[in-house]
């Protein structure tokens, strides 16, 4: 015994003792659970087995035994009576079980409603249903959801919104981006980007140029001889239209590759400074020249080059697609604005000059220029005038 106790004090022995104790506890709990379950089953059986008082009464009745011994058919009658008595005595038990298992059968049940029926036309109802047919109850009418009315298409809701998109008046515009060039003595060149336009400037001496016999070279001094032909001048009063846009170029020259729309600005005979010409170039002159070439291109169906001529310079303009799209997008708006004024009432379309004047503020904000040297001097004079003493 001492050896067992001594071995149990070792770690191996303690593990064995703990395992045996755990197994014993598990077995004890299992036996306890089975014992409790057996008690519950016995109690349920006792509840189901109620005493049959009718059978005892029938068995204790001596008159029934005597009548059974005297009448052979009495046994059958007595057995039938016993069965009916048993059924009557067990009916309350079965009813109690039904109440315990299911919902309360004494509660008022909701009446079953007929299936919703779609409304038919009055003629079909009068032919199919007799006059004595019962009307649908108010409760059933509330249950049935109302049939939504067919909604009209969205584009019929507001016909005013169906405004057709105005056609692009400058959709067919094609600009000539290159021109034939002949370098001559006395010509000087410069380049600048102004108002979304690449400007190629050529300066010349107006005296020898004015004595040239060929009209095309006299108007555009860098063109080679016999490269272009003069088609129209301003005196011909030829108007070219691109939608609402109207233009009368000062001259139209024809090249093998296309046309030249020439605009001439004398500026009172003043010369353009070859060093500061970009600062003094007017936005309206540039845009008017581009619009004249666009209208000529659309009307003639040929590419056109915008060329601006001054006293001592000629400027070949190459507008960007951004500027072209901007000018094309606002032709209709500019025409409507001009027609709303007394000056534009009754005038068909809008001229290139008027449209260019209306677009000046937007273009100068979209394509700002660097301040010129003259503006610095004017700012200084302004500050001097308004200074306080």
Whether 193 contacts 366, CB under 8 Å? no
Q: How far is CA 193 from the centre of its chain?
A: 38
- pLDDT, tens digit, for every residue of 352-368? 999 999 999 999 999 99
Q: Phi/psi class of residue 87: alpha, beta or left (left: φ > 0; alpha: ψ in -120 to 50)? A: alpha
Give the start-to-end residue ranges of the domains of the chain: 1-34, 188-369
- pLDDT, tens digit, for every residue of 154-205? 444 444 444 555 678 888 899 999 999 999 989 999 999 999 999 999 999 9
CB neighbour burial string for 68-92, b if at least 16 within 10 angstroms, e if fewer: eeeeeeeeeebeeeeeebeeeeeee
**How far apart are alpha carbons 99 and 96 in whole angstroms?**
5
Whether 327 contacts 294, CB under 8 Å? yes
pTM: 0.56
What is the per-residue pLDDT for 64?
Answer: 45
What is the residue-wise DSSP string for 273-324? Answer: PTTTHHHH--HHHHHHHHHHHHHHHHHHTS-EEEEEE-SSEEEEEEE-HHHH
Q: For residue 360, report the phi and psi dihedrals to the nearest 5 degrees.
A: -60, -50
The whole-chain average pLDDT of the chain stands at 78
What is the per-residue pLDDT for 306?
Answer: 98
Burial class (CB in 10 A: 0-12, 13-18, 19+), 281: buried
Q: Which of 200, 203, 234 is nearest to 306 (CA)?
A: 200
Q: In the chain, which residues have pLDDT < 50?
A: 54, 56-62, 64, 66-69, 95, 98, 105-111, 121, 124-136, 139-141, 152-162
- Report in angstroms the alpha-carbon separations of 89 from 56, 61, 95, 266, 353: 13, 19, 11, 130, 116
State the residue for tokens 């008159």.
63
Whether 350 contacts 334, CB under 8 Å? yes
What is the per-residue pLDDT for 37?
Answer: 86
Strand 304-309, strand 313-319: pairing: antiparallel
> CB under 8 Å to 354, separation ≥6 — which residues?
334, 338, 344
């Amino acid at each position: 015994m001492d050896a067992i106790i001594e071995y149990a004090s070792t770690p191996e022995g303690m593990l064995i003792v703990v395992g045996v104790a755990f197994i014993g506890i598990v077995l004890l709990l299992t036996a306890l659970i089975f014992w409790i379950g057996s008690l519950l089953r016995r109690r349920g059986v006792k509840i189901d087995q109620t005493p049959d008082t009718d059978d005892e009464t029938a068995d204790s009745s001596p008159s029934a035994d005597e009548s059974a011994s005297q009448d052979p058919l009495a046994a059958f009658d007595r057995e039938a009576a016993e069965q009916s008595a048993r059924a009557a005595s067990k009916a309350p038990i079965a009813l109690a079980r039904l109440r315990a298992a299911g919902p309360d059968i004494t509660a008022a049940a909701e009446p079953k409603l007929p299936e919703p029926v779609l409304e038919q036309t009055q003629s079909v109802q009068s032919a199919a249903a007799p006059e004595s047919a019962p009307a649908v109850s108010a409760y059933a009418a509330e249950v049935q959801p109302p049939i939504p009315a067919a909604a009209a298409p969205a584009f019929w809701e507001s016909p005013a919104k169906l405004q057709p998109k105005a056609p692009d008046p400058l959709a067919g515009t094609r600009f000539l981006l290159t021109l034939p060039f002949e370098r001559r003595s006395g010509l000087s060149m410069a380049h600048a980007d102004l108002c979304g336009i690449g400007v190629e400037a050529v300066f010349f001496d107006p005296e020898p140029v004015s004595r040239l016999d060929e009209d095309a070279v006299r108007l555009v001094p860098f063109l080679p001889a016999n490269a272009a032909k003069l088609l129209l001048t301003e005196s011909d009063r030829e108007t070219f239209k691109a939608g609402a846009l109207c233009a009368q170029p000062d001259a139209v020259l024809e090249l093998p590759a296309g046309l030249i729309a020439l605009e001439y600005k004398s500026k009172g005979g003043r010369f353009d400074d070859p060093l500061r010409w970009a600062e003094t170039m007017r936005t309206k002159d540039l845009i008017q020249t581009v619009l004249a070439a666009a209208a000529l291109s659309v009307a003639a169906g040929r590419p056109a080059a915008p060329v601006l001529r001054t006293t001592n310079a000629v400027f070949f303009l190459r507008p960007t697609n951004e500027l072209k799209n901007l000018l094309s997008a606002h032709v209709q708006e500019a025409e409507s604005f001009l027609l709303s004024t007394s000056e534009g009432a009754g005038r068909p379309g809008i001229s290139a000059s008027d449209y260019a004047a209306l677009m000046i503020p937007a273009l100068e904000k979209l394509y700002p220029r660097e301040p010129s040297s003259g503006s610095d001097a004017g700012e200084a004079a302004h500050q001097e005038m308004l200074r306080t003493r």
